[in-house]
Chain A
Amino acid sequence: MTGYGLFRLNDFAYAVALGRIRRIIEGVTLYLLPGLPRGVASVLVHEDAIVPVCSPLPPAAADHHQDGTTCYVLVDSCCGALALPAQPGGRIVAGHKGRLGAPTDGYAVWEIATFRIQDHSYRILDVDRLAMEIIQGVPYPLPDAGCARRLDEEKTAVGR
């Protein structure tokens, strides 16, 4: 079953494919490390591993983001685990409950589609692309063929 985790970060509503979500955690402490790239404000420690906290927001919005985050969505990317900030109240829905559409205006390159459900619209994040953009803005094709294949499948699904 295809499904999505639906989350909010202030006005930014985003979706992540269910298969990429490891867990959602609350009450964590954030730490600084040297050399964090743009898009990674801090790291957290989960099960003795360090996880970068990555902003899913488009770069222009991320610069002005006021962080009211209280929970983090841990996702698996082609560059290891990432933590995406979110507000409480996220939910999981089956893919067939909504419909896919093209990305909305002003989207970031890691937004591959829009998931619409009950008059709400969520930007579907490609966490591999997000990770690669953070590292160096690598264009397609991604070095991991598995990543590229999954992206192609999702693009085909939304008619891009």
Chain B
Amino acid sequence: MPVDSKRALTFHLAGVAFIVSLDEIVEVVEDLQGLLDFERRDLGQGIVCALSFRRAWIPAIDPALRLGLVHAAPLPDRVALVLHSVEGVWALLADRIGPLLGPAKLTPCDVPPLLKKLPGLLYSQILLAEGTPFVVFEPKRFYGFSQGAA
């Protein structure tokens, strides 16, 4: 199925609504039962486990760790968004997937000046959809990043 680059997928992570471009997404895996290996983790890199994906193990990242958020759903009950990166595909673990949104429904919104001044903020853009803020997820900040750039 061709990817429509003008649309974006929403997902929820620890009570926060995020949005990520469909260009970044390889596939969404909604049932993780039996697909996770918790022995293959590197918490220093944010990798909480490995996900079996197309006969290979790929790193699964929990962005909540770096964002300082607390999940509601236990790991096996989450969903995985498999994303592209220059280092190969990787999985982002989210609590649940939301609807696909097109550009007509999205309005750019500035990050509040108060938050912009905070050091280490891991996002730079917010979109509003019918009055609800969605944080634009920037995959490079979570996988394949250098410490200096993060």
Partners in one complex: yes
Mark out the residues of chain A between 23 and 52 whose CB falls within 8 Å of any chain B CB in the assembled complex. 29, 31-37, 40, 43, 45, 48-52
Q: Is the CB of B16 within 8 A of A33?
A: yes
* Contact status of A81 and B112, CB under 8 A, knowing A31-B17, A35-B121: yes
Q: Is the CB of A31 within 8 A of B133?
A: yes
Q: Is the CB of A50 within 8 A of B126?
A: yes
* Contact status of A34 and B67, CB under 8 A, knowing A45-B128, A48-B107, A50-B109: yes
Q: Is the CB of A50 within 8 A of B118?
A: no
Q: Is the CB of A31 within 8 A of B115?
A: no
Determine the chain A residues whose CB is within 8 A of the CB of B15 once the complex forms. Answer: 32
Interface size counted on chain B using CB atoms at 8 A:
27
A43 to chain B, nearest CB (A): 7
A76 to chain B, nearest CB (A): 11
Q: Is the CB of B110 within 8 A of A49?
A: yes
- Judged by a CB distance under 8 angstroms, whether B135 is at the interface is yes
* Contact status of A34 and B109, CB under 8 A, knowing A43-B133, A79-B117: no
A contact residues, range: 20 to 34
Q: Is the CB of A34 within 8 A of B135?
A: yes
Complexed CA–CA distance, A117 and B15 (Å): 42
Q: Is the CB of A31 within 8 A of B132?
A: yes
Q: Is the CB of A80 within 8 A of B17?
A: no
Which chain B residues have a beta carbon within 8 Å of chain A's beta carbons?
14-17, 67-69, 107, 109-115, 117-118, 120-123, 126, 128, 131-133, 135
A-B contact pairs, 12 of them (CB 8 A): A29-B131, A31-B16, A31-B133, A32-B16, A35-B120, A43-B133, A45-B109, A48-B109, A48-B128, A50-B126, A52-B112, A80-B113
Which chain A residues have a beta carbon within 8 Å of chain B's beta carbons?
29, 31-37, 40, 43, 45, 48-52, 54, 77, 79-82, 131, 134-136
